[in-house]
Amino acid sequence: MKILVTGGLGYIGSHVVVELQNEGFEVVIIDNLSNSSIDVLKGITAITKKQPIFEKLDLRDKALVIDFFNSHQDISGIIHFAASKAVGESVEKPLLYYENNLNPLIYILQELQYKASSYFIFSSSCTVYGQSDALPITESAPIKQAESPYGNTKQIGEEIIRDTCKASANINAIALRYFNPIGAHDSIKIGELPIGTPQNLVPFITQTAIGKREELSVFGNDYPTEDGTCIRDYIHVVDLAKAHVSALKRLIEGNNTQNFEVFNIGTGKGYSVLEVINAFEDVSGKTLNYKIVGRREGDVIAAYADTTKANSILGWKAKLSLKEALSAAWKWENK
């Protein structure tokens, strides 16, 4: 089966391409290289011994999207990653985020309407829950007003898919709400490549440990948690990638009970920022230079997944530990 992976040279997309190829799927990648490198294609090929088809294409151009689907009529499934993901940037450039994250989604769904059947996986985020009143967070937790335009694009994206699926029974879709993806492939041939200063915790830790950054700022130690720092559910990117294959297979095998379903994808365990730092110091043998600073605007106190639905219905479970993920991230930074 031929599967289109948009944004397939990005951090999560590239790991998903590897898992799809390992499972025997034929993969076509579309990427505009705006936040990725063509070298990632070499990494994927080296790991899987198979080069995916690649087209450099900007999905914001509707005519190009139409052309693409006309010339690739044998695509059965789409995993849609292509989007912008920097929270702070989205506050400064909201229209860029609405354009990047929503127009391509609409253009792709418009093409899928005409197909006899299609499978669609959407890259969503736990950010849709905001600060959930109950922990761990289940899929039925209320969706809170988004904290940023980025978060809003994930909420609106899910709504667009939900409405489209209601109107088009031929489209079967799943949105995966990721918690905090970290780490790299154990071959260390692909990993996260942040452009500029990383905004996320783990790349900032590894860049500090290797000397690219002087010091890590820990955003707040006065939260109502055990050690005062925020709690997140950090999931190894390879575990996360495998969840996409499980979701796709559910659709292909016709096991879905509705034509739009959502699943939390996390480990179910929450770790504080200081716990992550300690675990990193353990696996790397380095002492991390960090200081406690004020809170970062928009941060929730604690977010970790109830993964019961994904475990029981998708038959998927995260297997790798925080330390395994941090160790892979550290090897990747060294490489």
By CB under 6 A, name the binding residues for ligand UD1.
85, 87, 125, 127, 151, 180, 199-201, 204, 216-219, 230, 232, 273, 296, 298-299
Active site (annotated) includes residue 150? yes
User: Which CB sits closer to ligand UD1, 85 or 189?
Assistant: 85
What whole-number distance in Å separates Cα of residue 44 and Cα of residue 52? 8
- Least distance between ligand UD1 and beta carbon 68 (Å): 27
- Least distance between ligand UD1 and beta carbon 223 (Å): 8
What whole-number distance in Å separates Cα of residue 193 and Cα of residue 224? 33
What whole-number distance in Å separates Cα of residue 125 and Cα of residue 311? 18
User: Which CB sits closer to ligand UD1, 50 or 286?
Assistant: 286
How many helices (H) and strands (E) would you count in the chain? Answer: 11, 14
Biggest CA–CA distance in the chain, Å, is 57
Q: Helix or strand or coil: residue 115? A: coil
- Least distance between ligand UD1 and beta carbon 202 (Å): 7
- Least distance between ligand UD1 and beta carbon 148 (Å): 7
Count of alpha carbons within 13 Å of 309, Cβ hemisphere only?
Answer: 21
- Least distance between ligand UD1 and beta carbon 25 (Å): 26
User: Which CB sits closer to ligand UD1, 1 or 290?
Assistant: 290
User: Which CB sits closer to ligand UD1, 163 or 215?
Assistant: 215
User: Which CB sits closer to ligand UD1, 147 or 251?
Assistant: 147
Residue nearest to ligand UD1 (CB): 230
Burial tier of 142 (Cβ tally within 10 Å: 0-12, 13-18, 19+): exposed
Q: Of the residues 107, 129, 150, 271, which is catalytic?
A: 150
Nearest to 250, CA basis, from 263, 238, 268: 263
Sequence-distant (6+) residues with CB within 8 A of 222 are 228, 295
What whole-number distance in Å separates Cα of residue 307 and Cα of residue 305? 6
Nearest to 7, CA basis, from 108, 113, 91, 87: 108
- List the catalytic residues: 150
